Amino acid sequence: MGTKERFEATAAEVARVCEAAGRKPSEVTLVAVSKTVGPDQVAEAIAGGATDFGENRPDQLVPKADEFTQATWHFIGNIQSRRIRDIVGRAALVHSLFEERHARKIDDVARERGIVQDVLVEVNVSGEESKSGLAPDQVRAMLQTCADLPNVRVRGLMTMAPQGDLDAARRTFAGLRALRDELQPSFPDLTELSMGMSEDWPVAIEEGATIVRIGRAIFSETF
């Protein structure tokens, strides 16, 4: 199997898991995380039907997004202030916002360019020290800050689960969903849940993911 076939198989599996969970496949966006591969494999995934791609470094986002303008690009990595100009506008959705100073800078750059940048707030639901993101009890204040930034629109929440333990992953995903449900009455734009990677995406879909970010299952021959 090549990348095209692996993408097709993954997309079919995502649709099957949605149906089994009583959800519509159209409710879940499959983001192909192309951070470890070059343009040839991006092109193969597009040939298999991929529409959305994720990158975690501006150095990779910039050339790929500029080459494959027919695709929708997502920024899923660590945000650095000095690279925000490269990300705003190129990424249709920034998944990994958790610092107020970055929100303000994104707002400034988006305003200069006359756009509104869609973002997700990254939450460290599991509390693991190695994970970035806000503690759940800090998210409301962040959303309030962003509500005063006219060129930033928070569309939802993102998290990463502990690896190698699907029960812990399920608790993490359920926790993100509960937080979204709790905050949504005050913040009606908060609809998206970006959660689930190659090892745990079926569990994430069962727990309400609207975006899954899948890398190795699509792009690695050995996954």
Ligand X SMILES: *Cc1c(COP(=O)(O)O)cnc(C)c1O
Residue 3 or 149: which CB sits closer to ligand X?
Answer: 3
In Å, how far from its chain's centre is CA 180? Answer: 15
* Smaller CB separation from ligand X, 45 or 149: 45
- Nearest residue to 125 (alpha-carbon basis) of 193, 44, 32, 70: 193
**Closest among 202, 205, 199 to 33, alpha carbons compared:** 199
Nearer to ligand X, 6 or 213 (CB): 213
Strand-pair partners of 187: none
Residue 198 contacts ligand X per CB under 6 A: yes
Q: Is 212 in the site for ligand X (CB under 6 A)?
A: no
60 binds ligand X (CB under 6 A): no
Query: Which of these ranges, 112-120, 127-135, 142-150, 209-217, lies near ligand X under the rule CB under 6 A?
Result: 209-217
Residues in region 13-52 near ligand X by CB under 6 A: 33, 35
Q: Does 56 bind ligand X (CB under 6 A)?
A: yes
Which 3 state secondary structure label does DSSP give 44?
helix
Which listed range, 82-90, 175-183, 202-210, 211-219, lies at the site for ligand X (CB under 6 A)?
211-219
Among residues 197, 203, 205, 209, the one that binds ligand X under rule CB under 6 A: 197
Give the residue, chosen from 46, 76, 139, 157, that forms a contact with ligand X under the rule CB under 6 A: 76
What are the C-alpha distances in Å from 207 to residues 86, 167, 171, 187? 33, 12, 9, 21
Interface with ligand X, residue 215, by CB under 6 A? yes
Long-range Cβ contacts of 66-71 (<8 Å, 24+ apart):
66/90, 67/39, 67/42, 68/39, 68/42, 68/43, 70/46, 71/42, 71/46
How many Cα atoms are found within 13 Å in the side-chain-facing hemisphere of 191?
A: 7
Binding region for ligand X (CB under 6 A):
33, 35, 56, 76, 160, 197-198, 213-217
